[in-house]
Structures are given as structure tokens and as C-alpha cells.
């Protein structure tokens, strides 16, 4: 039996990641499970949740960055086991969000390399979708959590571009990345694109059995 594939949906806030990851898992008919980052249900996730929702909960930029990474390491073994059993894992955010949101703060010393370091050794996705949406900053509910401002999202977008344009290629073995602009597309249209690209990828890469790492 070959291992399952690690499939990631990344992007800025309110681009439809959670909707699309849920729909993708559902359409894979029990062959995939969903993992969302941050996982707010763990102890570390609880601290992250407080940081995101409570303006008076202060942590140094370095400390919260390491907590987001630790939150991925907490479930890394579970993800690997699931894949080893032949089941796919669909991720809602992962390492790239970790790097982009922290680097966007432009804290001295926290460049892309620094931000990428704590995630070194985590499993690398086989297939990544990067969702963007021209109206993501205007969607309902925007502005309730830390990082949810149009100004900060623009900075995060710049970091995502830098990661996928130069840094990713220089730092790691390249994996498959699909860029999807969801502006003016319905949930169903985006889902059909994501689903067909995923099933085609799985079919074409069925024999790939070695794990890839950051
Ligand atoms: N976020 C998410 C980070 O800053 N670093 C990370 O490693 C991850 C996974 O947390 F603003 C940010 C991105 C977002 C916030 O994410 C909460 P969700 O997807 O909105 O729950
Ligand atoms: Mg959010």
C-alpha cells in the first residue's frame, strides 16, 4: 500500500480555505481527514487562541511564532501515521502561513529564514493550493481577530509572494503549487477546480511513497 498524500490549502484570511478544505475532504469520500492550523483545541492552541482574540494578551513576536510552530509539531506524528495508513490528509493552513504572518510583522531579525527554521523537519505537502481573493479584506466578520486588518493582510500577501517566488525554490525541493484566484468565483466553481486538480494529482502520483520534508 502506498502512503496517502498531504494536501494543503493556504491563503490570506477569508479567501475560502475552511470552506474548501471541508468540501475537499467530504468529496474524497472517507479517504481523507482534515487538519486545521492553528489547532486551537490543544494546550498550546489555547494560548494561540488567546493571543488572537484578546488584545491585552501580550507575547513577544518570537514567542508566538514558536508556539504556532510547536502547535504543528504537536500533531506531526499523527499526520504521518494517517498518511502511512494510506489515508490522505487535507491541511487548512500550515508552514507557509506560519512564515508569512510572522515575517509580515517586520520584527528585526525575524526574516524568512529565521521564521522558517522551527518548522524544518516537518512533512512537506505533496500538493499546495494558494487561494487569493481581491475582496478578502472586505468579507463579513473581518476585523474581529488580531491580523485581520486590510493593511496587515497586504503585508502578509507580500510575504507569501516572496516565499513562493524565491524563498521556497531556494530553500527546499519544490512541491506542486496551484495558485487560484477565487475573485468572482462561486464556492462550487472553486471546489470543482480544487477537487479535479487533487484527484488528478493523486492518480498521477500514486506511486510516490517517500515522504518529503521542509
Ligand atoms: N497564523 C496561522 C499565524 O500567524 N501563524 C501560523 O502558523 C498559522 C497556522 O493565525 F490570522 C495566523 C493566520 C490567521 C490566524 O488562523 C488564525 P485562522 O485560519 O483564521 O483560524
Ligand atoms: Mg481567521
- Please give the model's pTM, rounded to 2 decimal places: 0.95
Domain residue ranges in the chain: 6-205
For 89-104, the pLDDT digits (tens) are 999 999 999 999 999 9
Q: Is 38 touching ligand 1 by the criterion CB < 6 Å?
A: yes
Q: How far is the CA of 1 from the centre of ligand 1 (A)?
A: 34
For 27-40, the pLDDT digits (tens) are 999 999 999 999 99
For 60-82, the pLDDT digits (tens) are 999 999 999 999 999 999 999 99
Q: How far is the CA of 38 from the centre of ligand 1 (A)?
A: 6
Looking at residue 1, what is its pLDDT? 82
CA distances from 164 to 29, 67, 99, 161 (A): 31, 23, 11, 5
CA distance 55 to 98: 20
Instruction: Give me the CATH code for the 6-205 domain, please.
Output: 3.40.50.300
Q: Is 68 touching ligand 1 by the criterion CB < 6 Å?
A: yes
Looking at this predicted complex, what is its ipTM? 0.98
CA distance 72 to 68: 7
Q: Which of 97, 103, 145 is the pocket-test mutation for ligand 1 (most atoms within 8 Å of CB)?
A: 97
Amino acid at each position: 500500500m502506498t502512503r496517502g498524500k498531504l494536501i494543503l490549502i493556504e491563503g490570506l484570511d477569508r479567501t475560502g480555505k475552511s470552506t474548501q478544505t471541508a468540501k475537499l475532504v467530504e468529496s474524497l469520500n472517507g479517504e481523507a481527514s482534515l487538519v486545521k492550523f492553528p489547532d486551537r483545541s490543544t494546550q498550546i492552541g489555547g494560548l494561540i487562541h488567546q493571543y488572537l482574540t484578546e488584545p491585552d494578551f501580550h507575547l513577544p513576536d518570537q514567542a508566538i511564532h514558536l508556539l504556532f510552530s510547536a502547535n504543528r509539531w504537536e500533531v506531526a506524528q499523527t499526520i504521518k501515521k494517517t498518511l502511512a495508513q494510506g489515508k490522505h490528509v487535507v491541511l487548512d493552513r500550515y508552514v507557509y502561513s506560519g512564515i508569512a504572518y510572522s515575517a509580515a510583522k517586520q520584527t528585526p531579525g525575524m526574516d524568512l529564514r529565521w521564521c522558517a527554521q522551527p518548522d524544518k523537519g516537518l512533512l512537506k505537502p505533496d500538493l499546495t493550493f494558494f487561494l487569493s481573493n481581491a475582496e478578502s479584506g472586505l468579507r463579513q466578520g473581518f476585523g474581529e481577530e488580531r491580523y485581520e486588518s486590510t493593511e496587515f493582510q497586504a503585508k502578509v500577501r507580500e510575504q507569501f509572494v516572496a516565499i513562493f517566488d524565491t524563498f521556497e525554490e531556494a530553500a527546499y525541493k519544490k512541491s506542486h503549487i496551484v495558485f487560484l484566484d477565487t475573485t468572482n468565483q462561486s464556492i462550487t466553481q472553486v471546489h470543482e477546480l480544487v477537487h479535479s486538480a487533487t484527484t488528478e494529482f493523486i492518480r498521477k502520483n500514486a506511486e510516490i511513497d517517500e515522504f518529503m520534508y521542509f
